[in-house]
Structure 1
Amino acid sequence: MRRVDVLVVGAGLAGLHTARLLARRDLDVLVIDRRRSPDSGIRTTGIFVRRTLDDFDLPEHLLGPGIRDVLLYPPSRRSPVRLTSDRDEYRVADMPGVYRYARRAAEAAGAEVVPGVRYVGARSGVVTLEGAEPVAARFVVGADGARSHVARDLGLDVNRRFLVGAELVHPIAPGTGGPAFHCVLDPRVAPGYLGWVVDDGRQAHVGVAGNPGAMRAGVRHLLDAFLADGAPGHAPPAGPVERRGGPIPVGGVLRRLACPAGLLVGDAAGAVSPLTAGGLDPCLRLSELAAAVVAGYLRTGDQEVLRRYDGGALRARFRGRLLLRRALAGVRTAAAAEAAVGLLRGRAGRALAARVLFGDGSFPDVRAGLADLAATR
């Protein structure tokens, strides 16, 4: 039986970033993923916000042009609210390339990444796998997605509030317009959330997401309806089309994230903004705190270190996002959506929208936890 310091279950961005940071601390790290290739089956739109680009090392050649314009449309698609930043606020990444880069970085740091291996269960420090022999791990990191099996087996909290999304990605003809982020509030095609078109001048990402209960007719059916109805700024697909989709946890960071046997990162930890459903910035930030906590705990055996990974403390900073999420979910008719977008035309509405879309704050804010850990070294 193989023995490792840390077994990371899931080779997404959160799992690979955590593995890289742990391996750099001279820990023996093994990463497994049920997919044959970690850069396949990607679900995220791949939108990186400015603060992520400022704080994390992402290869320039994997990032599309900067996006400064956001247009917010009512169901009628008429007279959108346009918000323009004086800085590049968003860039859409080549996500298969980002995953390959993250894997190479984790392996260069000393972690081993093994695809095509499915997590079955964990008990008393022994992890059962399908496709490989069992592994004895001192610690398990659950990076296995919104419906985490690791969370269940470790007795940690699990996500209970979701959106379900679907997206098409296709190339667009050059010169069709400047980069822009189009958002449509229309409960007929995206009940409880938004339809979107992100056009960075190279590719168009056309998607919808909404409450699972309201989307039982099929999220792809609603995506087709959105396309047929005329997604703003959208040209008909040309060339190969990539489909993405899946559940998006929007209940916020879970309260109980860690125990002496393991902890959760990324979607498994609920590290997705409750309002915007953005998960790339939160997953990287929470992974940094997770790696510091795991390394400190394995070095000292002190369970007080694990208490620094406190979901309850992280949740305290985004009550406003949860309130706005409930308000957005409550927009259930086209008339209500028209009125909601109308409120954003005023000075206060535009200021609120700009704060959400262009703000400097990060979710979750893990700086205090990292500072506390640094002080205890």
Structure 2
Amino acid sequence: MQTVDVLVVGAGLAGLRTARLLAERGLRVLVVDRRKSVSVGVRTTGIFVRRTLDDFDLPEHLLGPGIRDVLLYPPSRRSPVRLTSERDEFRVADMGGVYEHARRAAESAGARVVMGRRYAGVSVGSRSRGGVSVGSRSRGGVAARFVGGEPVLAHFVDAEPVEARFVVGADGARSRVARDLGLDVNRRFLIGAEIVHPVVAGADAPAFHCVLDPRIAPGYLGWVVDDGREAHVGVAGYAGAMRGGVRRALDAFVADAPGHPAAAGCPGERRGGPIPVGGVLRRLACPGGLLVGDAAGAVSPLTAGGLDPCLRMAELAAAVAATYLRTGDQRVLGRYDGGAMRSRFRGRLVLRRVFAGVRSPGAVEAAFGVLRGRAGRAAAARVLFGDGSFPDVRARLADPAIREGLMRG
């Protein structure tokens, strides 16, 4: 049976980033994912915002041209509001290539990445007789409790178990690891889908088109991102309010989406999946493991952007996990506290509730009257072009207990 320090379940951007950082600190790290390749089954649009591009070293050759213009359309699609930044605010990445790059970086740091291995669950205290099932809650809703130092035995479908000192759940919005560890789980979701296809080069300048129409995207929007190389056309919304499902909504939107350029060649790749919008979960860590990425709810409740927070939280998660494993001090896990992070986006949670309640196209049209004014445009620009990071983890990385643990590493 293989034994490692850290088992990372999920080879997305958050899981691979966390694995790389842990391996760089000298820990034995294994990453597993049920997919056959990290570059297949991509679910994200791949839009990186300026603050991410400024703070993280992303491969330049995998990023499209900079985008400065955002056009916001009411349901009628007439008279859009154009917002233009003086700087490149967005770049769309080849996410299959980004994942492959992240995998190579993790492996170069010493992590082992195994694809095609399906996670089935964990048990605690594997050296004891039979172990204790975690995730099989009693009728009273009480899960098995972890005690510091107990090994975690991870089980897989058609593969031998792996014994780990710590488990990182990077397995998506509906995380099984979160349930098995007795941590919080996401409960509020948007459902999104998009089509990505090449476009005829040399057409319009790169732009980001957003349509706010509750008939096609209740609680969110439809989008077209054309960076001159590819077009990403998508919709997202609350499943219960989306007539006929997200695929039908997408097909209807593609037919007359504004700013949708002509395709070059064959139809492109379809993507889709749940997007957690309840904010960072409160209970993210226990002595058995912690959560990162979508599993941790690390997605902006308002914009539904998850790439920036997943990278930032991976930095803090790796620092906390490494410190805990080197010191054995469970108090360190309290530094990875989702409840404290939630204060950063309290206003966005309020706006998310407002958006969720808007069902009338007429109400959205009326709201555009405000959006066209100076105050409305300034508020929209602040949301779309703001400099603040989400969530703010730098103060926690400066914590003396975390710094001391990292210096020991």
Do Structure 1 and Structure 2 share a fold, with TM-score over 0.5? yes
Of all paired residues, the percent bearing the same amino acid is: 78
Could you say which residue in structure 1 is the equivalent of 2:186?
A: 159
Could you say which residue in structure 1 is the equivalent of 2:23?
A: 23
Could you say which residue in structure 2 is the equivalent of 1:180?
A: 207
What secondary structure is seen at the aligned counterpart in 2 of 1:318?
helix
Tell me whether 1:368 sits opposite 2:367 in the alignment.
Answer: no
- Structure 2 counterparts to residues 203-218 of structure 1, below 5 A: 203-215=230-242, 217-218=244-245
Summarize deviations over 1:272-325 as a string: whole Å, max 9, x none: 000000000000000000000000000000001100000000001110111111
Structure 2 CA distance for aligned equivalents of residues 337 and 236 of structure 1: 29
CA RMSD of aligned residues (A): 1.0
Structure index of larger Rg: 2
Please, which of 265, 270, 273 is the counterpart of residue 292 of structure 2?
A: 265
Structure 2 CA distance for aligned equivalents of residues 135 and 312 of structure 1: 31
Alpha carbons of structure 1 residues 274 and 331: separation in structure 2 relative to 1, 3 Å:
same
Measure how far apart 1:175 and its partner are. 1.7
Could you say which residue in structure 2 is the equivalent of 1:5?
A: 5
Could you say which residue in structure 2 is the equivalent of 1:232?
A: 258
Q: Which moved more, 1:112-121 or 1:359-368?
A: 359-368
Q: TM-score, normalised by structure 1?
A: 0.98
Tell me whether 1:191 sits opposite 2:218 in the alignment.
Answer: yes
Paired amino acid for 1:222: A
Summarize deviations over 1:192-247 as a string: whole Å, max 9, x none: 1100000101110000000021126210100111122x111113433231100000
Tell me whether 1:348 sits opposite 2:375 in the alignment.
Answer: yes
Measure how far apart 1:39 and its partner are. 1.1
Aligned residues: 376
Structure 2 CA distance for aligned equivalents of residues 31 and 45 of structure 1: 23
Could you say which residue in structure 2 is the equivalent of 1:333?
A: 360
Summarize deviations over 1:65-118 as a string: whole Å, max 9, x none: 000000000011111000000000000000000000000000000000000001
**Aligned residues of 1:147 and 1:159 also touching (Cα < 8 A):** yes
Tell me whether 1:121 sits opposite 2:121 in the alignment.
Answer: yes
Could you say which residue in structure 1 is the equivalent of 2:326?
A: 299
Could you say which residue in structure 2 is the equivalent of 1:77?
A: 77
**Aligned residues of 1:72 and 1:341 also touching (Cα < 8 A):** no
**Aligned residues of 2:32 and 2:117 also touching (Cα < 8 A):** yes
Structure 2 CA distance for aligned equivalents of residues 154 and 374 of structure 1: 23
Please, which of 137, 145, 148 is the counterpart of residue 164 of structure 2?
A: 137
Could you say which residue in structure 2 is the equivalent of 1:311?
A: 338
Structure 1 CA distance for aligned equivalents of residues 321 and 230 of structure 2: 39
**Aligned residues of 2:320 and 2:402 also touching (Cα < 8 A):** no
Structure 1 CA distance for aligned equivalents of residues 348 and 258 of structure 2: 26
What secondary structure is seen at the aligned counterpart in 1 of 2:375?
helix
Measure how far apart 1:63 and its partner are. 0.2
Unaligned runs of 5+ in 1: none
What secondary structure is seen at the aligned counterpart in 2 of 1:6?
strand
Alpha carbons of structure 1 residues 326 and 190: separation in structure 2 relative to 1, 3 Å:
same
Q: Which moved more, 1:355-364 or 1:126-135?
A: 126-135
